[in-house]
Structure 1
Amino acid sequence: MTTSWGTPRILLAVGGVETTVVVVTWRGAGHITACLDAVAAQERPHRTLVIDNASDDGTAALLAAHPSRPRVVRLPRNTGYAGAMRIALSLVDTPLMAWLNDDAVPAPDWLAVLEDALGPAAAASARLDRPDGSIQSLGVRLTADGHGADATEAPAFGFCGGAALLRTDAVRTVGGVPGSFFCYYEDTDTAWRLRLAGHDIVTVPAARVTHGHGVSTRPGSPLFHLWNERNRLLTLLRCAPGAIALRELARFAAITAVLPLRRGVVDAPNFRVPLRCRVLAEVLVRLPGTLTARRVVTRRSTVPRHAVWRAWAR
């Protein structure tokens, strides 16, 4: 049997179960129960896998006591969302895997709607709403300077890792999840490689999820900006046209160089020279491995990089 994209389908549904829902948690004691309650209430049969990133706040006890009895893999250290999802990908044995944040509460039909809407695509992105009901994201859009940003209109360039459904073998075929990213852009990078390999990604607004957003990572913090800026540049170096990647790396370095000479600069972590210098240092340290990864991405691609960029960068 072959999948719609023409590669051997190794994984088969067992007992009617197509999907493993993967929840990554770190110090999730305040919200993991609500997430697992909602996963257990799904209308569509599934398996549940929780990757616990060495939580030390009582999360382990809550997972052990939850009546749905999810499979739990407790890691010896915090590998971030990206690292945990890479480990999860090696454990999933169903044709589909869902990514779900531990501060997300999906509607009862969330998984069924995603499975039914997936069709021949490699991934489907759900709708994430803020607790007040306003829309946060339908997926990831690609900006003209190579940022992955929340999309609030369909279709989206990529899926949002907070709540999405992916074909397990398709993700493995394009190289899996970039675990070394730790956190942020692992979804954009994976979606970009799927696009380059000729796969489609669908946006499914009817698959609804209420999302706490950033409960563990504190958006706006120095660490958030470090991961965000570094991983954007690494994603561009891996996936974007060469001229775009070099332009954005040079622009980031140039802005960093002139910031000490400017007055009235906004006091935000991503405009602080030490943090930006650390971003550049970490990108340079990773550059040999990143360029090797770029060559691998090229070999696996069926769509030119410039074609994907022209189609989606706005």
Structure 2
Amino acid sequence: MVILNWNGAHFLRRFLPGVLTHADGARVIVADNASTDDSVELLAREFPSVELLLLDRNFGFCEGYNQALAQIDSAFYVLLNSDVEVTLGWLRPLRSLLEASPRIAAVQPKILAHADPTYFEYAGAGGGYLDRLAYPFCRGRFFDTLEKDQGQYDDSRPVAWASGACFMVRKTAWRALGGLEPAFFAHMEEIDFCWRLWNAGHEVWYHGISAVHHVGGGTLPKTNPRKTYLNFRNGLAMLYKNAAPSELLASMFQRLVLDGVAGIRFLLGGQFADFWAVLRAHFSFYGKFGYWQQQRRAARPRLTVAARPGVYDGSLVWAYFAKGRRKFSELGLR
């Protein structure tokens, strides 16, 4: 289990005891992204059994994990956020699924809200999905609308993506794909990685028998222009990198239109910093277009919307805002 930490001493103090209690024999490693708080001192003083891997600067979420996992040899890695509380028996179902099914490269548990575990949590919920324009959503979470956990997603199934808050991944697949996209820095990196897994012939799953509780917003709060920038830039780049050749032009055009609509909504709502973040996101994408072309060639996209599990062949934006769909069951997906 690898926890990437940056100035998260308060989370380490709060949640590491449970991680160690329920480690089920796994190594527990904290990769520190050049924290400036007392994280390193805390680990040495209060958690001497935890392995500490020191990075010489803050590489961000994506490259931080790439740097850390390159130095760790294990058949499986668990990427675990520092603000996650694990539960009794959570690890074994994930490991058993990967051991039993060589085609499965990554799997996430059920992710519930730490503040109220009767509800699903924003970052992962009951498994990650995409609509045809690559807008992410989850079973149990549409935009900021969360479902109550009533056992409706206590299953295991293939999904479009596994949550970066907590997922287990096969080392061979991780290294074959080069890990997370370093240019993303943070946000939507796990979705891009899982889409590349599918394009490479692997599978990504959700396992609802395993459950963890996630605080969320530990790095950036939900309403933050920096997060707006990263989500819009990375979402656009992810779609360009991974969409099937036959669907690329139409998908990109529609995505650009909807991004423009979102920008106008920010402007009319007086959210000027978020409006500017959308503009900067697009300027950044166009400015690095040559790089994204190289990444698209490396990803070798091939799977259409119809061929990828966990994809809604429609617009979630339209379903949510125009049709009032608030639950996964209302989309007609199985």
Settle same-fold status: TM greater than 0.5. Answer: yes
> Aligned partners of 1:176, 1:261: CA distance in 2, in Å?
35
Number of matched pairs: 289
Aligned to 1:306: 304
> Aligned partners of 1:249, 1:237: CA distance in 2, in Å?
7
> Aligned partners of 1:23, 1:34: CA distance in 2, in Å?
14
Aligned to 2:173: 170
1:138 aligns with 2:140: no
Question: What code does the residue aligned with 2:137 have?
Answer: A
> Aligned partners of 2:55, 2:293: CA distance in 1, in Å?
29
Determine if contact 2:225/2:274 at 8 Å carries over to the other structure.
Answer: no
Q: 1:105 deviation in Å?
A: 0.9
Determine if contact 1:127/1:138 at 8 Å carries over to the other structure.
Answer: yes
SS in 1 for 2:172: helix
Determine if contact 1:97/1:168 at 8 Å carries over to the other structure.
Answer: yes
Question: What code does the residue aligned with 2:105 have?
Answer: A
Aligned to 2:331: none
SS in 2 for 1:122: strand
Determine if contact 1:241/1:309 at 8 Å carries over to the other structure.
Answer: no
Determine if contact 2:22/2:88 at 8 Å carries over to the other structure.
Answer: yes
Matches within 5 A, 1:1-314: 21-42=1-22, 44-118=24-98, 119-120=100-101, 121-131=104-114, 132-133=116-117, 134-136=119-121, 137-152=125-140, 153=153, 155=157, 156-242=159-245, 244-251=247-254, 253-254=256-257, 265-268=268-271, 272=275, 274-298=276-300, 304-306=302-304, 311-314=309-312
Q: 1:287 deviation in Å?
A: 1.4
Determine if contact 1:196/1:305 at 8 Å carries over to the other structure.
Answer: yes
Q: 1:126 deviation in Å?
A: 0.8
Give the aligned CA root-mean-square deviation in angstroms: 2.5
Determine if contact 2:305/2:311 at 8 Å carries over to the other structure.
Answer: no
Determine if contact 1:54/1:74 at 8 Å carries over to the other structure.
Answer: yes
Q: Are the structure 2 counterparts of residues 310 and 105 from structure 1 closer, same or farther at C-alpha, using a change threshold of 3 Å?
A: closer
> Aligned partners of 1:244, 1:147: CA distance in 2, in Å?
15
Greater CA drift, 229-238 or 58-67: 58-67
SS in 2 for 1:305: coil
Q: 1:294 deviation in Å?
A: 1.1
> Aligned partners of 2:305, 2:261: CA distance in 1, in Å?
33
Determine if contact 2:79/2:167 at 8 Å carries over to the other structure.
Answer: yes
Determine if contact 1:24/1:81 at 8 Å carries over to the other structure.
Answer: yes
Q: 1:271 deviation in Å?
A: 5.7
Q: 1:257 deviation in Å?
A: 6.2
Structure 1: stretches of 5+ with no match in the other structure: 1-20
> Aligned partners of 1:264, 1:170: CA distance in 2, in Å?
42
> Aligned partners of 2:73, 2:304: CA distance in 1, in Å?
34
Q: Are the structure 2 counterparts of residues 219 and 259 from structure 1 closer, same or farther at C-alpha, using a change threshold of 3 Å?
A: closer
Identity of aligned residues (%): 24
Determine if contact 1:138/1:160 at 8 Å carries over to the other structure.
Answer: no
Determine if contact 2:108/2:168 at 8 Å carries over to the other structure.
Answer: yes
Determine if contact 1:27/1:216 at 8 Å carries over to the other structure.
Answer: no
Q: Are the structure 2 counterparts of residues 109 and 270 from structure 1 closer, same or farther at C-alpha, using a change threshold of 3 Å?
A: farther
Q: Are the structure 2 counterparts of residues 130 and 68 from structure 1 closer, same or farther at C-alpha, using a change threshold of 3 Å?
A: farther
Determine if contact 1:225/1:269 at 8 Å carries over to the other structure.
Answer: no
> What TM-score comes out, normalization by structure 1 length?
0.83
SS in 2 for 1:108: coil
> Aligned partners of 1:276, 1:296: CA distance in 2, in Å?
27
> What TM-score comes out, normalization by structure 2 length?
0.78
Aligned to 1:9: none
